Amino acid sequence: MNRFIEGIVHTITPMHVAEFGKDKEVKVMNAQTSSGRVRFPYFPANDVRGRTRRKAGETIMDKVKPVSLPLFHVLSCGSPGQIPATGSESVTRIINGQKDMYLGLFGGGPYIQKGGVRVRDMVPVNQATIEIGMVPECYSNLLSCYERKDKEGNTINQDAAPWVIQEFTHIKVDDLVAANRMRAPELIENYAQVALDYMKSVMENSAVRKDEKKLAAENLEKKRAGEIVASINPDNKTTKVGLGNILPSEAIIPGVPLYFRVDFEDYISDAQVHFFADSLAGIFNEPLGGRGSIGWGIVKADLDLVNGNRTKLFTFDEGMYAVNPVLPGHDECEEALEAYTIKSLSAILLAEPANDSKVKTKATAKG
């Protein structure tokens, strides 16, 4: 019977997952619906999987630390190096690896073994994601969070994918230029001269950069009009001197329901599912995405383990998630973790020693 983890993760504070090469923008996915192409943000499956892998690796390393750098690499990102191992031992090790608590779940190791969990992108629950099947229809009751009403109180039809991204602005203040630190004269050595020189340099620098921007705008207009203008070397642009800045950043707004799902291969044991759930609880106890230092990325996770019936995956006490104690596999999981040694980890994760007939990996029983 297929076992999987499913549920809803609500954003409590803004969530920022940067688009590659565009740190200010969030990742956005395109999808085709009956009303045309729509766009919505998402939290990447690879990010969830990577965070969970690292939590699992830390749990193991805490049992056997300190570990070698190659072992640290495998337990953190799955691979000890760029080039996978080869040889006749591969098939045997892969079969043994499926039984290993860590390798069976996340894969990797010397032969880049396939893992036993399939994580999906977290996507908003909206009309578009339900229509195309990314989110099961049983979660359609959550669409009420997007409901809009007119002046008479009548419900207005929703967009196919309500826009749930907002641009936030963060201001970095330059205390000397803003002159808002009354104690600055007693805190800064040679304040009178230093402050005067600094503020003068900032103002002169600002004037030069303003002229450069004006010239660039004029040249752009000339190019659009068909005129030939000299190109400005980016390396010759004046570098900003002052510390003050305005930093825009996009984020998924609070209150958005995100659909979460993880599937397990048939060979994954109850102990391994329990180990994964424990690692997953760990990532939800920390901010997800960027800007965690300003309180972003706090979420509420309401997830179930589905195995014929539904069991709550977590308990929540004093602001912390933990694995529900009624989940099967707890004792077997603890037994397998306690059995780890540097030697056994090196054997299966680094292919050491070469003759693995002498190395027995702790197997976990299928529940």
Which among 71, 70, 78, 114 has a CA at the least distance from the CA of 93? 114
**Between 68 and 89, the higher pLDDT residue:** 68
Which residue, chain included where needed, has tokens 């006490």? 317
CB 42 within 8 A of CB 28: yes
pTM of the model: 0.79
Mean pLDDT confidence for 153-163: 80
pLDDT at site 1: 58
CA separation for the pair 187, 343 (Å, rounded): 56
Could you tell me the pLDDT band of residue 367, with boundaries at 50, 70 and 90? very low
Write out the two tokens for 226.
């068909």
CA separation for the pair 101, 335 (Å, rounded): 11
Asked if residue 357 has pLDDT above 50, the reply is no
pLDDT at site 207: 85
Domain ranges of the chain: 4-163+251-358, 174-243
Q: Look up residue 222 and give its amino acid.
A: K
Could you tell me the pLDDT band of residue 56, with boundaries at 50, 70 and 90? very high
CB 308 within 8 A of CB 17: no
CA terminus-to-terminus distance, the chain: 12
pLDDT at site 355: 44
Could you tell me the pLDDT band of residue 175, with boundaries at 50, 70 and 90? confident
Average confidence score pLDDT of the chain: 84
Residue-wise pLDDT for 305-354, tens only, equals: 999 899 999 999 988 999 999 999 999 999 999 999 999 998 888 876 54
Q: What is the DSSP letter of 4?
A: E
For residue 252, give every residue at least 6 positions away whose Cβ sits within 8 Å of its Cβ, in sequence order, or none.
11, 14, 15, 16, 17, 26, 41, 124, 164, 165
CA separation for the pair 115, 205 (Å, rounded): 54
Write out the two tokens for 43.
């939290």
Write out the two tokens for 351.
């292919």
Q: DSSP letters of 12-52?
A: SS-BB-EETTEEEEEPEEEEEETTEEEEEE-B-HHHHHHHH
CA separation for the pair 170, 251 (Å, rounded): 12
**Between 293 and 136, the higher pLDDT residue:** 136
Could you tell me the pLDDT band of residue 47, with boundaries at 50, 70 and 90? very high
